């Protein structure tokens, strides 16, 4: 089981799904199902599209829900002539606790490189938002056996000028690109190999104490029937979930870490 010092985090990345009305329905279903007093297995976070954040804020605040929320992206810029961008200050004003930085779909379709991802990580910290830094290799890199070196290089690029105090609060999500949306889940050992290497490198870049605080998630075709095996690994502190986070029953089972209740 992952280290008791680090509370498990289950984050649902809704991607380009759910308008604000659909978002109300999904959050209400989650809130109803997770409302029992003893529910404390994990910290639960949803990452809706920007257009739903205000709606989710209103629900969470109004009903004091034990569901956190955040954004799927954050601008590297504070303000100005950057059409279409949403700043960290705007997200903080909406009560966002988290923002993804460097999701592989942003890296691929929007050409985000390590320097941009680094700027986004720092923009999040500057606004008291916890970045969920997404890393992971594509299929060719995996086939060549270079997944650890590739992912550690992404980590170092993303953490330039990030302080030890910030690194301790950071969430990292190891998401091998070949496992995203493909049903091709990494084995628990695959996940552990890279998550352990990421934690070790955090220890080398900062201190071992910092590396014991940083939470490292796995993402890629996580479902209720495979999460328990992944969570059993020492360096995996939770999951970043795509498709399964859109199905309330499935996400509730994930929030319970796959255990029947
Ligand atoms: O990209 C992901 C989460 O950010 C994973 O997506 P899937 O769970 O749909 O494979």
At residue 146 the predicted structure's pLDDT band, cuts being 50, 70 and 90, is very high
Task: Please state, for a pLDDT cut of 70, what percent of the chain lies above it.
Answer: 96
Q: What is the model's pTM?
A: 0.96
Binding residues for substrate: 13-15, 181, 221, 242-243
Ligand 1 mean position to 227 CA, how many Å? Answer: 13
Q: What is the per-residue pLDDT across 22-65, written as a single tens digit (0 to 9) for each?
A: 999 999 999 998 876 556 789 999 999 999 999 999 999 998 99
Euclidean distance between CA atoms 250 and 104, whole angstroms: 23
Q: What mean pLDDT do residues 157-161 have?
A: 98
Domain range annotation of the chain: 9-255
Testing ligand 1's pocket by substitution, the residue of 240, 245, 253 carrying the most ligand atoms inside 8 A of its CB is 240
Is 260 one of the catalytic residues? no
At residue 261 the predicted structure's pLDDT band, cuts being 50, 70 and 90, is very low
Q: What is the per-residue pLDDT across 117-143, written as a single tens digit (0 to 9) for each?
A: 999 999 999 999 999 999 999 999 999
Is 175 one of the catalytic residues? yes
Ligand 1 mean position to 244 CA, how many Å? Answer: 8
Say whether domain 9-255 belongs to CATH 3.40.710.10: no
Q: Is residue 226 in contact with ligand 1, taking CB distance under 6 Å? A: no
Nearest CA to ligand 1 atom 3: 242
Answer positive or negative: Cα dihedral of 96, 98, 99, 103. Answer: negative
Q: Is residue 219 in contact with ligand 1, taking CB distance under 6 Å? A: yes
Nearest CA to ligand 1 atom 2: 242
**Atom number of ligand 1 nearest to Cα 104:** 1
**Atom number of ligand 1 nearest to Cα 245:** 8
Give residue 5's pLDDT.
Answer: 82
Q: What is the per-residue pLDDT across 187-205, written as a single tens digit (0 to 9) for each?
A: 999 999 999 999 999 999 9
Convert the chain into a string of H (helix), E (strand) and C (coil).
CCCCCCCCEEEEECCCCCCHHHHHHHHHHHHHHCCCCCCCCCEEEEECCHHHHHHHHHHHHHCCCCCEEEECCCCCCCCCCCCCCCCHHHHHHCCCCEEEECCHHHHHHCCCCHHHHHHHHHHHHHCCCEEEEEECCCHHHHHCCCHHHHHHHHHHHHCCCCCHHHHHHCEEEECCHHHCCCCCCCCHHHHHHHHHHHHHHHHHHCCHHHHHHCEEEEECCCCCCCHHHHHCCCCCCEEEECHHHHCHHHHHHHHCCCCCC
Nearest CA to ligand 1 atom 6: 242
At residue 4 the predicted structure's pLDDT band, cuts being 50, 70 and 90, is low
Q: What is the per-residue pLDDT across 53-101, written as a single tens digit (0 to 9) for each?
A: 999 999 999 989 999 999 999 999 999 999 999 999 999 999 999 999 9
Q: Give the active site residue among 103, 105, 112, 213.
A: 103
99: Cα separation from own chain's centroid: 8
């Amino acid at each position: 089981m992952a280290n008791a010092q680090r509370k498990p985090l289950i984050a649902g990345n809704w991607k380009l799904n759910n308008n604000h009305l659909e978002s109300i329905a999904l959050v209400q279903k989650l809130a109803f199902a997770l409302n029992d007093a003893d529910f404390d297995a994990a910290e639960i976070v949803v990452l809706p599209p920007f257009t739903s954040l205000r709606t989710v804020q209103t629900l969470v605040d109004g009903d004091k829900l034990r569901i956190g929320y955040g954004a799927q992206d954050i601008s590297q810029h504070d303000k100005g002539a950057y059409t279409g961008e949403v700043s960290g200050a705007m997200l903080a004003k909406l009560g966002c606790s988290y923002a993804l930085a460097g999701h592989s779909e942003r890296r691929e379709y929007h050409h985000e490189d390590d320097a941009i991802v680094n700027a986004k990580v720092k923009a999040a910290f500057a606004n008291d938002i916890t970045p969920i830094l997404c890393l992971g290799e594509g299929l060719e890199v995996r086939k060549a056996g270079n997944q650890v070196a590739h992912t550690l290089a992404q980590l170092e690029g993303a953490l330039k000028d990030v302080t030890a105090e910030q690194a301790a609060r950071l969430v990292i999500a190891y998401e091998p690109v070949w496992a995203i949306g493909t049903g091709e889940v990494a084995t628990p050992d695959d996940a552990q190999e890279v998550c352990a290497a990421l934690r070790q490198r955090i220890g080398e870049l900062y201190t071992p104490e910092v590396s014991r605080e940083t939470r490292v998630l796995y993402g890629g075709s996580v479902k209720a029937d495979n999460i328990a095996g992944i969570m059993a690994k020492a360096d995996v502190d939770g999951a970043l979930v795509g498709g399964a986070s859109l199905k309330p029953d499935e996400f509730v089972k994930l929030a319970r870490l796959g255990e029947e209740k």
